[in-house]
């Protein structure tokens, strides 16, 4: 019996993407549907509406998709996958909501659709935006954030939290391996030391810009006193809540109590040399110096005046005849007509 050639022409069901979705079409199991405006197709399963069906691969290309219906999805989980939210951008959705966005410039957003940084983590709902690093419980397996540069593959700095029992501290490392700061589990902070014994333990010099104040308070913001070095190289101690000045060591090393400036006119001092220790006040109490010795013996309190022919502190050069060893002077002020003190 001669073979008979029968020519058959088949046409798949077709519509625009919007038309399929609007109609809510449910394809038969194994039935193909074609979108005339996108060139993409779907394969029916007999129960799932068109909008929820995944697209079939088409020459290695996928549909853009949407946040709730990604272009690359899973047959059993069609609202989870990848989609194209905009030109040159990629979105990752789960449960029909975008979780991760890769922007056209390469910034990666977690919880944000407009990442402004290389990695941008946001929490739009309740809770906190958190980045959690978990290391193995084995000793030596630390949780670390590393910092580097393109010209050198070695890490230039890191923030590290070591694992293992007993290692409960955070360290800040610079220059590859030099630990600069350590914060222990008890809250003590060490700078240039890994064994801080105080809330702030510094192994090295501390620099403060002149005029900056170190303040003591009662824990509620009420000042008890402060110290600072001003721009004229004066070291000042102030106390009480009104921050009244108590003591000043001026730029020449003079100790001033009750005054902010050295007095140089006492005792007709023609050479202009001011006393190294000066007390001034407006009452007997504020202009009074007292030396007391407390001991169960007959020894007194002392006030010594000494003299050496040496030219440096600590020298012990014997004095010569007629040298004045010490002097106690009593002075009062009067003014002549020309206004000069004598």
Asked whether residue 267 carries a pLDDT value surpassing 80, the answer given is: no
CATH of domain 12-63: 2.10.10
Question: How do strand 32-35 and strand 13-15 relate by DSSP bridges?
Answer: parallel
Helix, strand, coil shares, percent, the chain, to 5: 5, 30, 65
Q: Say which residue, 117 or 244, is predicted with more confidence.
A: 117
How confident is residue 120, by pLDDT bands cut at 50, 70 and 90?
A: very high
Give percent of the chain with pLDDT exceeding 90.
Answer: 51
For the chain, the structural domain boundaries read 12-63, 143-202, 207-305
Question: Which tens digits make up the pLDDT trace of 324-335?
Answer: 888 887 766 554
Instruction: State the DSSP string of 202-216.
Output: ESS-----TT-EEEE
Q: Of 95-104, 125-134, 151-160, where does mean pLDDT reach its minimum?
A: 151-160
Give the pLDDT confidence score for residue 335 in this predicted structure: 47
Reading the block at residue 204, the tokens are: 């090295």
Q: Alpha carbon 83 to chain centroid distance?
A: 37
Give percent of the chain with pLDDT exceeding 70.
Answer: 91
Question: Which tens digits make up the pLDDT trace of 175-205?
Answer: 888 999 999 999 999 999 999 999 999 999 9
Q: What is the mean pLDDT of the chain?
A: 87
Q: Say which residue, 340 or 277, is predicted with more confidence.
A: 277
């Amino acid at each position: 019996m001669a073979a008979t050639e029968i020519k058959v022409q088949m046409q798949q069901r077709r519509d625009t993407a919007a038309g399929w979705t609007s109609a809510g079409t449910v394809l038969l199991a194994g039935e193909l549907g074609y979108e005339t405006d996108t060139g993409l197709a779907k394969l029916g399963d007999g129960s799932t509406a068109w909008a929820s069906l995944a697209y079939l691969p088409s020459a290695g290309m996928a549909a853009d998709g949407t946040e709730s219906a990604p272009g690359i999805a899973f047959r059993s989980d069609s609202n989870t996958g990848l989609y194209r939210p905009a030109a040159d951008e990629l979105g990752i959705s789960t449960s029909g909501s975008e979780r991760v966005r890769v922007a056209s410039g390469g910034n990666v957003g977690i919880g944000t659709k407009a990442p402004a940084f290389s990695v941008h983590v946001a929490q739009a709902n309740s809770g906190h935006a958190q980045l959690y690093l978990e290391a193995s419980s084995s000793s030596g397996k630390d949780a670390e954030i590393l910092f580097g540069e393109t010209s050198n593959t070695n890490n230039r700095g890191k923030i590290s939290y070591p694992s293992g029992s007993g290692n409960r501290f955070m360290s800040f490392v610079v220059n590859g391996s030099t630990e600069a700061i350590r914060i222990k589990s008890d809250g003590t902070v060490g700078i240039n030391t890994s064994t801080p014994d105080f809330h702030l333990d510094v192994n090295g010099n501390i620099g403060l810009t002149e005029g900056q104040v170190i303040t003591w308070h009662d824990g509620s913001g009420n000042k008890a006193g402060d110290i600072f070095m001003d721009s004229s190289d004066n070291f000042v101690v102030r106390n009480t809540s009104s921050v009244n000045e108590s003591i000043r060591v001026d730029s020449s090393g003079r100790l001033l109590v009750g005054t902010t400036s050295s007095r140089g006119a006492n005792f007709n001092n023609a050479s202009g040399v001011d006393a190294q220790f000066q007390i001034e006040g407006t009452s007997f109490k504020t202009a009074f110096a007292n030396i007391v010795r407390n001991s169960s013996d007959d020894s007194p309190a002392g006030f010594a005046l000494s003299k050496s022919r040496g030219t440096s502190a600590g020298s012990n050069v014997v004095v010569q005849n007629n040298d004045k060893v010490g002097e106690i002077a009593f002075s009062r002020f009067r003014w002549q007509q020309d206004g000069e003190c004598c």
